[in-house]
Amino acid sequence: MSSNPWMKGDEGTQASVDPITLQLVRGSLRSARLECELIIERTAMSAFIREKKDYTVSFLDSLGQEIYGETMGSDIMGCVWSHYPPESMHRGDVYWYNDPYISGGSISHTPDMVFIAPVFFEGELVAYCHSFAHFWDLGGSRPGSIGPANTEIFHDGTLVPPIRIVDQGKLNDEAYRIILRNSRYPDLLEGDSRALMAAAQRAEDRVLEIFRRFGKETALAALRQDQQETADFIRRKTLETIPEGSYSTRDYLDNDGVGDEWHSFHLELTRSGDDIVLDATASDDQAPGSINFIASDGTLGAYLGQHFHQYDPSLTMNQGLLAAVDDVKLRPGSILQPQWPAALGCRAHTFTKLKNAVRAVVARANGGDAMAAMAVYVIAYWRMKDAGTGEWLLCTDGIAVGHGARPQADGIYAVYSRHNENYPAEFMDMEYPLRMERYAINPDSGGPGKYRGGCGIIRDVRLLAPEGTFGLRVENHRFPAWGIAGGKAGGTSRVLLNPGQQGERDIRPFSDDNRWVAGDLVRLYTAGGGGWGDPLERDVDLVEKDVRGGFVSLEAARSEYGVVIDPLSQKADAQGTRAFREDLRRTREQPKMFHRFIYFDDDEEERRWIETHMPR
């Protein structure tokens, strides 16, 4: 990363543009991105794109550095250039790939497909437009491609190296037919891929409009200045926040889907003078299962930069995010730098907790001024045999969790991911032989705190088809999301088959090939986010409101928040609450910086507890 010109935000020699022009260019990019993402939403075929909205459009400069979007530090163009140098590209080309290893982690698992259109203005290659989405099925060991039982990348579906799928406006039909043939649902794959290509091409048109409107020199200067302003702010905020010293954390994953032992990774943030280094070399070795994540140095740097971007969201998300760090250290063969051909399909378990870890090291450096951990979002693969046709259907269901509390507000509840939406119950009922019978808040799943963690949900899904199987990508069953600054950990996840019925049983939360038949019901309890601040400092009125809203039970209001509430009126007893809170302050475990199973200040303190009470 030291070669990246945006590491320290010191590329200040470019010509500047006036503030009005800069804002007009920014606004044009934002408008173009919205338009192109709406093209994807309105023309894609699969529900994960059309309903869940797992897609994005980004813009890159001629060096492959992000102008605007959310590539999160990924080197999107490097693997393309290794096969198609810029001088070999033409207007009307579109490039396509999904290979995580060839791309160096720019794509983190095979269902994520990338389409790239180069932008030529006055004969010069000035930019690239990039569309991305999660595709329904690309072959592999099971419908949906990725899954807990996968042990190598070939199980995760078709690998597409960088190819020129459109050559000067002409579709490469031979390659296209090969790729479509490798999906169980080729019609969906064709519809989605054409939507992504159209979005990249429309983005190209909109970038050309910017260059025509402002002229090449002004447009290039504005784009460069925009990157510079983000870099300057991110660098300044990083140095203001992080004192000299080293700050470390370790986080844990329930299991890898193949074995039952937990896995962990380690992250250390060090500032020496004005140099900022992120070091993850003390992480565990790569896992046999599919939780491995190729964490490129750019990705880790962007995670840190994204934390500081929140302090001025008016700035554009671009390559300037990487100015937060000077170097990133990763160890080949680790869970964060797996070696070929390790499976990567369920890498979200790891990267979600890695984002949490970045906030944890910042919190260690600044005394707890960071968001608590969020739970890992959930995916269920509902597979069922159609009674009429005998064909196997797939519903890939992204399911909401709770996010971490913040230093000034409760955590967001019942959200899959901040970019994506939850399936409406009506959609599942109309499209599949499934019935969603319950969709509710999971009480007490939000971590207690002055600011409560966001709650997960309870979701009941009943099978109406004659038979089927289901796979579950559910984390936080053993290791909940940690709380911070005196806040406590969020609740854990759980999955039941036929709850309350004869034969009720727990289902392993991270598992596949679970059989169900007509009439069976699966209930998922998803995990909540960690709390922030001492729970005994939470406003009594807010606890009352939480109880009335079903977020907190009467029992937890008393035991966790010290609030005595009458079960009939659901009103707090002010005098009883004051007395009970004073008693709890004397008798409880004293709060520290972090909480999971215990309060702890040092990550080694937690590790010793885990190895004693939860040995691998």
Please name the residues in contact with 505: beta carbons below 8 A apart, sequence gap of 6 or more: 496, 497, 498
Pairing assessment for the beta strands 457-463 and 521-525 based on DSSP bridges:
antiparallel
Cβ neighbourhood burial of 277 (10 Å; 0-12, 13-18, 19+): middle
| Helix, strand or coil, per DSSP, at residue 563 | coil
What are the Cα distances from residue 143, in Å, to 342, 347, 471? 19, 18, 10
In the prediction, which pLDDT does 285 show? Answer: 98
The HSE-up count of residue 113 (CA atoms within 13 Å, CB side) is 29
- Is 480 inside any structural domain? yes
Tokens of 248: 């470390």
> What average pLDDT does the segment 382-409 reach?
94
Q: Is the pLDDT of residue 2 over 80?
A: no
Tokens of 391: 């064909």
Beta carbons of 256 and 291 less than 8 angstroms apart = yes
488-531 pLDDT tens trace? 999 999 999 999 999 899 999 999 999 999 999 999 999 999 99
Q: Is the pLDDT of residue 27 over 50?
A: yes
Strand order in the sheet with 327-329: 245-253, 263-272, 275-279, 327-329
- Is 525 inside any structural domain? yes
- Is 2 inside any structural domain? no
In the prediction, which pLDDT does 71 show? Answer: 86
Q: Is the pLDDT of residue 142 over 60?
A: yes
> What gap in Å lies between CA 559 and CA 554, rounded to an integer?
9
> What average pLDDT does the segment 7-29 reach?
77
> What gap in Å lies between CA 440 and CA 526, rounded to an integer?
11
In the prediction, which pLDDT does 598 show? Answer: 97
Beta carbons of 335 and 245 less than 8 angstroms apart = no
Q: Is the pLDDT of residue 49 over 70?
A: yes
Tokens of 472: 């579950």
Q: At which of 178, 208, 233 does a domain end?
A: 233
The secondary structure of 281-349, three-state, reads: CCCCECCCCCCCCCCCHHHHHHHHHHHHHCCCCCCCCCHHHHHHCCEEECCCCECCCCCCCCCCCCCHH
In the prediction, which pLDDT does 147 show? Answer: 86
Q: How many domains, in total, are found in the chain?
A: 2
Q: Is the pLDDT of residue 9 over 50?
A: no
> What gap in Å lies between CA 95 and CA 86, rounded to an integer?
12
Cβ atoms within 10 A of the Cβ of 219, count? 23
Cβ atoms within 10 A of the Cβ of 310, count? 10
Confidence bin at 423 (pLDDT 50/70/90): confident
149-183 pLDDT tens trace? 999 999 999 999 999 999 999 999 999 999 999 99
Q: At what angle do helices 297-309 and 216-241 cross, to 10 degrees?
A: 80
- Is 400 inside any structural domain? yes
In the prediction, which pLDDT does 73 show? Answer: 86
Cβ neighbourhood burial of 390 (10 Å; 0-12, 13-18, 19+): exposed
> What gap in Å lies between CA 372 and CA 392, rounded to an integer?
41
> What gap in Å lies between CA 408 and CA 490, rounded to an integer?
18
Confidence bin at 7 (pLDDT 50/70/90): very low
DSSP character at residue 565: B
Q: At what angle do helices 348-366 and 216-241 cross, to 10 degrees?
A: 60
Q: Kind and range of the H or E element at 8?
A: none
Q: Which of 51-60, 417-426, 518-527 has the lowest mean pLDDT?
A: 417-426
* Segments forming the whole domain that contains residue 437: 371-534
Q: Kind and range of the H or E element at 359?
A: helix 348-366
Cis peptide before 100 (omega within 30 of 0): no
> What gap in Å lies between CA 337 and CA 295, rounded to an integer?
6
> What average pLDDT does the segment 316-345 reach?
97
> What average pLDDT does the segment 358-367 reach?
97
| Helix, strand or coil, per DSSP, at residue 224 | helix
Pairing assessment for the beta strands 275-279 and 327-329 based on DSSP bridges:
parallel
DSSP character at residue 183: S
Tokens of 509: 């939360």
Q: Is the pLDDT of residue 102 over 60?
A: yes
Per DSSP, helices labelled H in 444-539 are none
Look up the pTM and report it: 0.95
Q: Kind and range of the H or E element at 419?
A: none
Q: pLDDT averaged over the chain?
A: 95
Q: Among candidates 254, 256, 249, 246, which has minimal Cα distance to 335?
A: 256
Q: At which of 204, 233, 262 does a domain end?
A: 233
* DSSP states of 112-167: EEEEEEEEEETTEEEEEEEEEEE-S---SSSTTS--TT--SGGGG-----SEEEEE
In the prediction, which pLDDT does 1 show? Answer: 41
Cβ atoms within 10 A of the Cβ of 10, count? 13
Q: At which of 233, 250, 281 does a domain end?
A: 233
In the prediction, which pLDDT does 65 show? Answer: 97
- Is 539 inside any structural domain? no
Strand order in the sheet with 521-525: 434-441, 457-463, 521-525, 494-497, 505-506
- Is 107 inside any structural domain? yes
277-316 pLDDT tens trace? 999 999 999 999 999 999 988 999 999 999 999 999 999 9
- Is 514 inside any structural domain? yes
> What are the DSSP E strand ranges found in 492-598?
494-497, 505-506, 510-517, 521-525, 594-595
Beta carbons of 229 and 223 less than 8 angstroms apart = no
- Is 391 inside any structural domain? yes
Q: Is the pLDDT of residue 592 over 80?
A: yes
Hey, CA dihedral for 300, 305, 309, 315, is it positive or negative?
A: negative
